[in-house]
Every structure is written in structure tokens, then in C-alpha cells.
Amino acid sequence: MNEFINFDEISRTTWQNLYKTSIAPLTRDELDAIRSLNDEISLQDVTDVYLPLVHLVRLYKKNLEDMSFSKGLFLQKIVKTPPLIIGISGSVAVGKSTTARLMQLLLSRAFSKLKIDLVTTDGFLFPTAELQRRGMLDRKGFPESYDMERLIQFLYDTKNGLKTSVPIYSHETYDILENQSQEIDCPDILIIEGINVLQNQQNQNLYISDFYDFSIYVDADESLIEKWYLERFNSLLDLAQDDPKNFYHQFTKMPFDEVLTLARGTWEKVNAVNLHQYIEPTRNRAEIILHKSENHVIDKIYLKKF
């Protein structure tokens, strides 16, 4: 069976003509500021791919508002429109963080009067000490290493218009930062990004998928993702060279061939396994799949039919 049977495949050329504009609402410097390490993106990508995507999100936002209004008429009371929640998922190193930050910036320009927040699910990882206590430090990034109850509660509170907070994860220390949090105060649109965003975790009464109004999966051939992962690993080593507090600093003291072997082993034993077993199987739950080719160029878009 065709794995994309419930999607319309749209070429980049066709997609860019769905929303005509010649001006990207940001500068090259602004784009560089939100680009993740070793990711590639251009102003042409913004115009061709992301502006039509933002226009599609606008339609979903209008639909959410209309439904809330109609529900209020039916119930004969005022029903406040809940925040639109956008989930963005994909493999490690595929560039989903850049997509999330770019969507936040473009949506902020498109909806200048609305509050647009961005949260990463890294903040819901159990702290290193807790992972060690549970004997699953080598499973970091797998579903069981996340406090999914807390993530579901966060999404529930946000949908209900409550002020919430999210722990902050540091990629430099490779751990949750103690006594620090990101405050989320009733956003109009919430973007939540992470490898586990579309995984169908649940508590006794709620599925995590209950909360998303729109979702994006950033995709690429596995060989490319592995290449990007190794390139990013090397860049992280360069950044950690003179910072003993950085998690990656310990690897800068090792011979390069040993470090490369370690990075490849981490990909094969951790990231590739996680991709095959838990991340990629969620791809068809997304409303949109952005498929990347060489140099992170988006060549195809898949839009869910129904």
C-alpha cells in the first residue's frame, strides 16, 4: 500500500503558485538568526514554501474561530476561541527547530495583534539525575524518557486559557536547567516542536493528539538525515572547544576518528532506532509533510486529503 495514500503530493513549483507574493516579510539577517546549526534555508524558501504554508494555517485559524462561534450559538453562551496549537515533528537533525522558529516569526508578521508562542518538548525530558535513577540514561530521547503526563497537562491547561510554565532544556549542559522555566500566558497560537509531538501518548482520559489543530512533519531520506546529524555533531564540537561546561567539550579531547566512531554509533544505536520505531511511524498523522532533499531544500509537500 502507498504510504502516502491519504496525501496529495504537491511539487514545490505547484505549491509556490498557491499563494502569490514576491516579497518575503523578513530580512536575510533575521532568517540567519533563527536558522539552526548546519541547517540551510533561503529567502526563496520562505517565499516559495513557507508563505503558502502560513496562508493555510490562517484558514485553519479562521475555521477554529468559526467553530467556536457556532458552538456558542448552539449552547446559547459565549464560547471563547481556544488557542490554535501547531505541532511540528521529525527526526533529530532534520531541521524542525528552524521550521518552528520560522513559522513563529512569519505568523507573528501575519497576525501582528496575536500572541504567538513556541515551546520545544525537550523541556519535558526527565532530568539526567532522574533518568539515571530509572536506569534509562541510554534511552534519552525515546518516549519513556519524557514526562508525558506533564506535557499533556501543559497542553490541556493552555487550551483552557490557563497560564502555564515549561521547564527549560539546555543543549550545552545536556540537561534540564534547575529553577528556570518558560512562562506561557494565554497565547493565541502555540507552536510545539519535538521528535515526540505526534506520538499518541495518553493519560487515562486524554490523547496528546487531541490538542493539535494543525501539524507538520519535516521529512528527508535517512541517509541525508544521518549526514546532517554528523555535520551538526562536528559543529557542536567546534563550539564546545573552549567551554569546559559544555557537554560536548569532553569529546574535544578525544582523537577525531574516535569521536566520529562515537557519533556514528550514537546515530545507529539511538537516533536511527528512535526514528524507525517511534518517530517516522507518526509521519502520516501530520496535516502537512515537508520533504527535504540535498542541502535542506524542500522539493515536495504532502497535504493530507481528509
Is 96 annotated as a binding-site member? yes
Give dist(CA 289, CA 196) in Å, integer: 15
Distance (Å, whole) CA 273 – CA 295:
24
Strand-pair category, 84-90 with 189-193: parallel
Which pLDDT score, from 0 to 100, does residue 302 have?
98
CA distances from residue 53 to 39, 228, 264, 286, 294 in whole angstroms, order as listed: 19, 24, 34, 13, 21
> Residue 176: how many CA atoms within 13 Å on its side-chain side?
23
pLDDT, position 204: 63
Is 108 annotated in a binding site? The answer is no
| 3-state secondary structure at position 186 | coil
| Residue 297 annotated as lining a ligand binding site | no
Element containing residue 192 per DSSP (H, E): strand 189-193
Task: Look at residues 190, 193, 187 and name the one whose alpha carbon lies nearest to residue 162.
Answer: 187
Tell me if 296 sits within 8 A of 49, measured CB to CB: no
H or E element at residue 60: helix 51-75
Kindly indicate whether the domain formed by 7-304 is annotated with CATH number 3.40.50.300.
Answer: yes
> Which 3 state secondary structure label does DSSP give 84?
strand
Q: What is the pLDDT of residue 206?
A: 81
Instruction: Round to whole Å and give the CA distance between 140 and 76.
Output: 48
Asked whether residue 80 is marked as a ligand-binding residue, the answer is no
The answer to whether 273 is a known ligand-binding residue is no
Is 92 one of the annotated binding-site residues?
yes
| pLDDT for the residue numbered 202 | 65
Contact 92, 195 (CB under 8 A): yes
Residue 58 has a pLDDT of: 95
Q: Is 72 annotated for ligand binding?
A: no
Q: Give every CB contact of residue 95 below 8 A, 6+ residues apart in sequence.
A: 36, 39, 41, 218, 228, 292, 296
- State residue 10 phi and psi, 5-degree precision: -125, 125
Euclidean distance between the first and the last CA atom of the chain, given in angstroms as a whole number: 17
Q: How far apart are CA 98 and CA 93, in angstroms?
A: 10
Q: Check: CB of residue 219 under 8 Å from CB of residue 29.
A: no
* Residues across the chain: 306
Task: Give the pLDDT confidence score for residue 1 in this predicted structure.
Answer: 53
Please provide the DSSP assignment of 118-182 as one string.
EEEGGGGBPPHHHHHHTT-GGGTTSGGGB-HHHHHHHHHHHHTT--EEEEEEETTTTEEEEEEEE
**What's the average pLDDT block by block, 10 residues per block, for the chain (306 residues)?**
88 92 83 89 93 96 97 95 97 97 96 96 97 95 94 95 96 93 97 94 76 97 97 93 92 92 96 97 96 96 96
166 is in an annotated binding site: no
Q: Edge-to-edge strands of the sheet including 84-90? A: 7-11, 298-304, 288-292, 214-220, 84-90, 189-193, 116-120
